[in-house]
Amino acid sequence: MSEKQVSYSEVTDTVLNIIKPAGAGWYAQLIICISLAALGGYCWARMMIWGLGEAAITHPIMWGVFITNFVFWVGIAHSGTLISAVLYLFRARFRQPIYRLAEAMTVFAVMTAGLFPFIHVGRPWLAYWCMPYPNQRALWPNFKSPLVWDVFAISTYFTISSIFFMVGLFPDIAVARDKATTWFRKTLYSITSLGWSGSNKQYKNYAAAYLLFAALATPLVVSVHSVVSWDFAMSLVPGWHATIFPPYFVAGAIFSGVAMVITLIIPLRRVFKLHNLVTEFHFDAMCKLILLTSNIVAYAYITEFYVAWFSNNDFERYQFWFRPFGDFKVAFWGMVFCNCIAPQALWFKKLRSNITFLFIMSIIINIGMWLERFNIIFTSLSREFIPAAWGNYNFSWIDVGITLGSFGWFGMWMTLFIKFFPSIAIVEVKEIIHPPKRHAEEH
């Protein structure tokens, strides 16, 4: 953002313009998202009545599409905290206009990811059994299990991300409150801003607490997807039992999450004319982050193959032959193209500046990251140790419906959020603008 060209009131007006009463386009988008979510809900209901077999889940790929979606959405959730917390600690100047949307994306993506364990258990009314309560219900949770760690990791991540997100919103909602014209909005914002007034005492304590939040959330960026990766790596399944998984998952999550931020922010910028707040500088910085993480992910893919060969373990070697040349080879090569080859185009400044190209690239990357999770889960489970236990997977329309439903669910929350709450951090954007002074030289 070129801060010298923008005034405080311009920032306020530009951002609050987004939450003005919606047009037909917004309603159309909301209806599409709700319809997709309803399709997912219908498929889930059908599966509850007729059983998990409706979703084609069967031996040996018992994790199926649902855990693929779970890991995909957790990965999407990842970069919100990276952008909001880690870049805050590093004082990265490209963070301010994009972090609110990234945080919202995090919260809604975790809400989406959190549905899949519920869906996958088949009997969601018993899903609370997953919660590691102490032993009152005679469930004896095993605290040595990565699956229990995952429950802690995801629930902590969701709680901290949600609080971080809401805390960041208070001052901006206060701005919306003071500009609200309708009774409904005035009441909504008065309650949700908690009566924030923007006194110096408030800002001082708020800034100190926010810094501490960022410091607490930063290790979560590393830990959440590390713990998710241990769901795989702690097992003995060929293709999963690898120490490279935590860094590889974390890099992949940042890669997909930043791509999703680009997917979301480009239409928002275009529709609401945010060109003076979200500039090419911000896209350029995000592209460099994508390029870095793409290369880390590519390096991890190569390392997996090398280690499989170097291990001299027949099962590992077979697994890594099966991935590029077996039944799921299309998914493998799709993943390689989307995650490793296509992002190399971002080395060129001209392409990093081409917003249409970036939008297409961000979608390609997210398809690639979904395929990556698909590859990890499907290829390894379909070819474990004993050939008699090998098998394949026949997708059902329930799988597809629930997957589309998850995108509808996520999109529905994002669409509602964008229209009701400031999706760009007004107060933080103002912080990087030089405050107006009558006699600049005096102070």
- Please give the residue ranges that form the binding site for other proteins (CB under 8 A): 7-9, 12, 132, 134-135, 140-141, 143-144, 148-149, 152-153, 155-156, 159-160, 163-164, 167, 170-171, 174-175, 177-179, 190-191, 194-209, 212-213, 216-217, 219-220, 223, 227, 427-428, 430-431, 433, 435-440, 442-443
Q: How far is the CB of 145 from other proteins (least distance, A)?
A: 8
Helical segments of 272-378, H only: 280-311, 314-325, 329-336, 349-352, 355-374
Do 10 and 429 contact (CB within 8 A), yes or no? Answer: no
Q: How far is the CB of 213 from other proteins (least distance, A)?
A: 5
3-class secondary structure, 58: strand
- The C-alpha atoms of residue 413 and residue 319 are separated, in whole angstroms, by 39
Nearer to other proteins, 25 or 195 (CB): 195
Nearer to other proteins, 140 or 184 (CB): 140
- The C-alpha atoms of residue 279 and residue 331 are separated, in whole angstroms, by 35
Q: Which amino acid is at 175?
A: V
3-class secondary structure, 322: helix
Do 81 and 220 contact (CB within 8 A), yes or no? Answer: yes
Nearer to other proteins, 115 or 153 (CB): 153
Q: How far is the CB of 36 from other proteins (least distance, A)?
A: 33
Q: How far is the CB of 67 from other proteins (least distance, A)?
A: 20
Do 426 and 175 contact (CB within 8 A), yes or no? Answer: yes
Q: Which of 390, 290, 398 is nearest to 344 (CA)?
A: 290
Backbone angles phi, psi at 61, to 5 degrees: -95, 70
Give the DSSP H or E segment for 145. none
Reading the block at residue 215, the tokens are 């410091």
Nearer to other proteins, 200 or 394 (CB): 200
Nearer to other proteins, 216 or 307 (CB): 216
Q: How far is the CB of 395 from other proteins (least distance, A)?
A: 34
Nearer to other proteins, 193 or 319 (CB): 193
The alpha carbon of 361 is separated from its chain's Cα centroid by a whole number of angstroms, namely 17
Nearer to other proteins, 212 or 360 (CB): 212
Nearer to other proteins, 99 or 315 (CB): 99
Q: How far is the CB of 142 from other proteins (least distance, A)?
A: 9
Q: Which amino acid is at 312?
A: N
Specify which residues 58 forms β-bridges with.
61
CA dihedral 345, 351, 354, 356 (to 10 degrees): -20
Q: Please list, residue by residue across 203-227, b when 16 or more beta carbons sit within 10 angstroms of its beta carbon and e when fewer do.
A: beebeeebeebbeebbebbebbbbb
Q: CB count, 10 Å around CB of 104?
A: 22
3-class secondary structure, 61: strand
The alpha carbon of 236 is separated from its chain's Cα centroid by a whole number of angstroms, namely 28
- The C-alpha atoms of residue 173 and residue 425 are separated, in whole angstroms, by 10
Query: CA angle, corner 225, sides to 222 and 230, nearest 5?
Result: 115
- The C-alpha atoms of residue 304 and residue 311 are separated, in whole angstroms, by 10
Nearer to other proteins, 126 or 207 (CB): 207
